[in-house]
């Protein structure tokens, strides 16, 4: 008992010391505020009569928890399988064969518009679409664009599952994304990865108008994924899976997708016009390297160097010159050529771009009106472009400088197709059309209008810049 009494003062002292220590700690170290960040609930916009809504700012944090369940459930229903069939081809021995190929596509409206890659459908005579719920539809090809490897299809249906187009500009390197498609003829398959890079060019597309500014990811993509969806963790379409880099023919960690903001513009053109309205800045460009940056006085190695300006182009009329460095377009930095091509590729002829450029040690701004390759600022429907193609020539409007120098108004022939109706007239490229059936022609629009109204034979009147006199060429419209 005496020993227990001896321990009592020790216990009381310890308790008092602990209480005193806690009081001193609370007085010295004031309470801290703990912030717990949670994901903003997914917000999906309702589809309207406009196929493609304006680009919306993202409504969630890119650092949200990596829970892909809700995004995967939403996306898989909207990703379809696309099967293309070629008609029988017969060899010299009369043996026939039927070819088929398959890929993926993404439903973007509840009434059946589908986007996919051009290479998925380009060789097909018939296109069949299979939905995730096993329903099958025959699809019509609304339009294709080899320059971006995109195609727009349409099936007949109502209240179909679809995806919203997200804002690919908001994607950040290191952000989680999902790739959804139909590889190896499987049903919708979901793989996950991160954004490895943006603005990649891998030289897989052909043509002078090609636009390569791919989103690179390490999400597993295999044969059959072409045309499938690349989505963020909010379930928004941010890209279309298009290609992989591989030595074995199978996935090796490098997959590439067309950015959704470029997809939005291309398929809207295909829907509205049947052909892409490609706006041209009117410059030839090159990358900026360290030596060139030091020579020009740039603080950082960024921007696109202008090596030549096309006379009469929007860039020429806005005052851009050889040696200028384009730094940004409409406020978006253009650090590389693919990034600049993507920005320009989002706009149509007639659209105005605010171009920031570096010249003689100073930053400058210019407003450039885009034109098409025919030097026109007015959108042209597919049937209008096809009319001239079917006749066998390409034309462009005269530049202001040419009109002033030659003292004429008209349309200049820039190329003639072999074996065409126009070639059989012995017309040469460089011919300037000033009249059609004795009616003045001042622009491509007027030329097309007069061709539409004409019947039987037409007579083109005009001049050559380097040859004296007037020349006449007649040909039948329906040959």
What is residue 11's three-state secondary structure? helix
The token duo for 15 is 């308790």
Query: What are the distances in angstroms from CA 392 to CA 275, 434, 435?
Result: 18, 18, 18
Confirm whether 97 is a catalytic residue.
Answer: no
The token duo for 79 is 């990703």
Alpha-carbon gap, residue 164 to 168, rounded angstroms: 12
Query: 């800045």: which residue's tokens?
Result: 281
Query: 């490897």: which residue's tokens?
Result: 149
What is residue 120's three-state secondary structure? helix
Catalytically annotated residue among 145, 149, 324, 372: 149
- Whether the CB-CB separation of 447 and 411 falls below 8 Å is answered with yes
User: What phi-psi label fits residue 404: left (phi over 0), alpha (psi between -120 and 50 degrees) or beta?
Assistant: alpha
Catalytically annotated residue among 226, 255, 374, 443: 226
The token duo for 210 is 């090609």
Query: What are the distances in angstroms from CA 66 to CA 54, 59, 478?
Result: 28, 16, 62
Catalytically annotated residue among 119, 188, 213, 443: 119
Confirm whether 14 is a catalytic residue.
Answer: no
The phi and psi torsions of 40 (rounded to 5 degrees) equal: -65, 135
Confirm whether 102 is a catalytic residue.
Answer: no
Radius of gyration of the chain measured on its C-alpha atoms:
31
List active site positions. 119, 149, 226
């Amino acid at each position: 008992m005496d020993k227990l009494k001896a321990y009592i003062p020790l216990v009381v002292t310890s308790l008092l010391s602990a209480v005193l220590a806690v009081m001193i700690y609370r007085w010295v170290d004031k309470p801290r505020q703990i912030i717990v960040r949670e994901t903003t609930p997914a917000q999906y916009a309702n589809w309207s009569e406009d196929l493609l809504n304006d680009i919306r700012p993202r409504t969630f944090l890119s650092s949200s928890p990596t829970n892909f369940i809700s995004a995967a459930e939403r996306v898989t229903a909207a990703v379809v399988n696309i099967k293309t069939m070629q008609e029988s081809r017969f060899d010299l021995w009369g043996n026939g064969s039927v070819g088929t190929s398959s890929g993926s596509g993404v439903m973007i409206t509840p009434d059946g518009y589908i986007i996919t890659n051009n290479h998925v459908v380009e060789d097909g005579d018939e296109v069949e679409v299979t939905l995730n719920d096993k329903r099958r539809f025959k699809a019509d090809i609304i339009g294709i664009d080899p320059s971006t490897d995109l195609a727009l299809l349409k099936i007949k249906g109502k209240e179909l599952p679809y995806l919203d187009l997200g804002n690919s500009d908001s994607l950040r390197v290191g952000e989680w994304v999902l790739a959804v498609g139909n590889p190896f003829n499987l049903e919708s398959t979901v793989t996950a990865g991160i954004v490895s890079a943006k603005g990649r060019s891998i030289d897989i597309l052909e043509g002078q108008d090609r636009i390569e500014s791919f989103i690179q990811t390490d999400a597993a993509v295999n044969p059959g994924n072409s045309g499938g969806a690349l989505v963020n963790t909010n379930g928004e379409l941010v890209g279309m899976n298009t290609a992989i880099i591989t030595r074995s023919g199978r996935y090796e960690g490098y997959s590439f997708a067309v950015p959704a903001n470029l997809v939005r513009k291309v398929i809207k053109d295909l829907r509205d016009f049947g052909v892409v309205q490609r706006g041209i800045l009117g410059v030839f460009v090159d990358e900026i390297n360290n030596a060139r940056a030091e020579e020009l006085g740039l603080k950082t190695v960024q921007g696109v160097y202008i090596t030549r300006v096309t006379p009469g182009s929007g860039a020429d009329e806005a005052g851009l010159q050889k040696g200028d460095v384009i730094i940004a377009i409409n406020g978006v930095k253009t650090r590389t050529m693919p990034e600049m091509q993507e920005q320009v590729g989002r706009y149509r002829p007639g659209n105005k771009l605010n171009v920031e450029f570096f010249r003689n040690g100073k930053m400058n701004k210019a407003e450039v009106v885009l034109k098409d390759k025919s030097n026109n600022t007015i959108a042209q429907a597919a049937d209008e472009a096809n009319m001239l193609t079917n006749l066998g020539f390409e034309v462009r409007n005269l530049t202001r400088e040419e009109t002033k120098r030659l003292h004429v108004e008209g349309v200049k022939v820039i190329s003639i197709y072999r074996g065409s109706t126009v070639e059989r007239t012995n017309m040469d490229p460089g011919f300037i059309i000033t009249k059609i059936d004795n009616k003045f022609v001042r622009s491509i629009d007027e030329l097309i209008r007069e061709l539409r109204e004409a019947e039987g034979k037409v007579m083109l009147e005009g001049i050559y810049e380097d040859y004296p006199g007037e020349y006449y060429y007649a040909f039948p419209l329906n040959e």
